Chains A and B, each alone.
Chain A
């Protein structure tokens, strides 16, 4: 069983790899909140994305295996061609059901499932991308009392994804990458377990 009470879920598509690398490589290896990263990627490709993150991060990067416990010190990457779901006992489930928004893994699927488990203790961050995936999941996080953060579309490599989230969640927090890093450091320093 996983234990940590908070969770950060990050989604990105086109431009999302660079953006998430920039954020996550700034975080220390003992970062206090576990992180799940859902990036759109090519189907049936192997774990090369994982090795990029392994190399660049102080945190440990790991592709989700089914039933892995959600633990701090890790960035869990959604594997290619699977949706990632979150169980009540803070472990992962994988799912090969239909594509959502033409995507598997889909950001909406993970955001929604995580919001049902973590509620107000969930922080969702949506980055650059040329897709609409993620915005309704981010909205759901907001409705469940969690925190919704969107990368500033003016800074994003492709603005479609962050902009469509802002369009449906006017209350979300819009930050550039520097701002997102600062916010994550703030959470690291102030999180009460």
Chain B
């Protein structure tokens, strides 16, 4: 059978994925391929590379280059108060129950550059829970974690963020949470004083603590079913009985083994509760 260019490209990508695993320890074998192909083509294009061969050479000769490749593949795009109805639901359906615990532990898995994390922290603060909540913010990508710690976001999205904040039930002036400076917004660092940041790879690392709420949104869409199942098991092991699991608006537990132990708290917003 004659391979057309696309088949050849895909075959070379498979080899690249294996070599990256051997060489750098990152396992992308369980990633859904359509996005991987698209991101690699985009990266080749942006870097003015014409073949996977050239890419391989660059990636394996230079670990900094690999870092930027990693950025591209893992898709770090995020926003504050994405799906305000989700945050509103968290505020009204979940936080009141969490407030009955003396001490609350939350895992924000795949937190990217921190927009989701700061949105969560603002909610917790307004519901009077921030002081007794510890948030573990993790991502595969160390560079985004560093950015998340700084809490500086572009001001260009401020209108959407402000609208999202109020639609999420925001109770203050949104502008009271940040200082605006040369096109960027520096968020109040006291919001994350109880946050710990760790690199954690959902594809290979194990459960490291027990949580009352796990938030993992728009990460699983990049995984195949098998890897999704691994991650669901990981979350299940990491949740206390009656703990909550929040997925992205288009992600679901429906096909998972663990689904039978979970009930919907809010179906439209994909918030589940473990029944135990």
Tell me if A43 counts as interface (CB < 8 A to partner B).
yes
Assuming A44-B164, A87-B32, is B252 touching A65 (CB within 8 A)?
A: yes
Q: Considering the chains assembled together, what is the distance between the CA atoms of A37 and B118 in angstroms?
A: 35
Interface string of B140-176 (1 = CB under 8 A from A): 0000000000000000000010001000000000000
- Given the complex of chains A and B, what is the CA–CA distance between A86 and B33 in angstroms? 9
Cα A28 to Cα B34 with chains together (Å): 31
Taking the closest CB of chain A, its distance from the CB of B182, in whole angstroms, is: 23
Residues of A within 8 A of B164 (CB): 44
A44 close to B38 (CB less than 8 A): no
Q: Nearest Cβ in chain A — how far from B115, in angstroms?
A: 12
Q: Residues 243-257 of chain B: 1 if any A CB is under 8 Å from the residue's CB, otherwise 0? A: 000000111100100
Q: Roughly how many angstroms separate A98 CA and B75 CA in the complex, as a whole number?
A: 9
Interface residues on chain A, number (Cβ under 8 Å): 24
Contact among B75, B82, B84, B251 for A95, CB-based, below 8 A: B75
Query: Does B35 reach chain A (CB closer than 8 Å)?
Result: yes
**Interface flag for A24 (CB, 8 Å):** no
> Is B218 located at the chain interface by the 8 A CB criterion?
yes
The CA of A143 and the CA of B34, in the complex, are separated in Å by 19
- B213-246 vs A: 1/0 string, CB under 8 Å? 0000010111001000000000000000000000
Q: A93 within 8 Å of B by Cβ?
A: yes
- Of the candidates A79, A87, A109, the one having the most CB atoms from chain B within 10 angstroms of its own CB is A87
> What are 22 A-B residue pairs whose CB atoms fall within 8 Å in the complex?
A44-B84, A64-B250, A65-B252, A66-B220, A66-B251, A67-B255, A85-B32, A85-B34, A87-B32, A88-B34, A93-B34, A93-B35, A93-B221, A95-B35, A95-B38, A95-B222, A97-B35, A97-B75, A97-B77, A109-B38, A113-B38, A116-B37
Residues of A bordering B, CB below 8 Å: 43-44, 46, 64-67, 79, 81-82, 85-88, 93-98, 109, 112-113, 116
- CB within 8 Å for A96 and B218 given contacts A44-B84, A66-B250: yes
B109 to chain A, nearest CB (A): 15
Given contacts A66-B221, A98-B77, 19 further A-B contacts (CB under 8 A): A44-B82, A44-B84, A44-B160, A46-B85, A65-B250, A66-B251, A66-B252, A67-B225, A81-B82, A85-B38, A87-B34, A88-B33, A93-B221, A94-B221, A96-B77, A96-B218, A96-B221, A116-B6, A116-B37
Q: Is B83 an interface residue (CB 8 A)?
A: yes
How many angstroms between the C-alpha atoms of A95 and B84 in the bound complex? 19
Given A44-B84, A66-B250, A95-B221, A85-B77 contact (CB < 8 Å): no
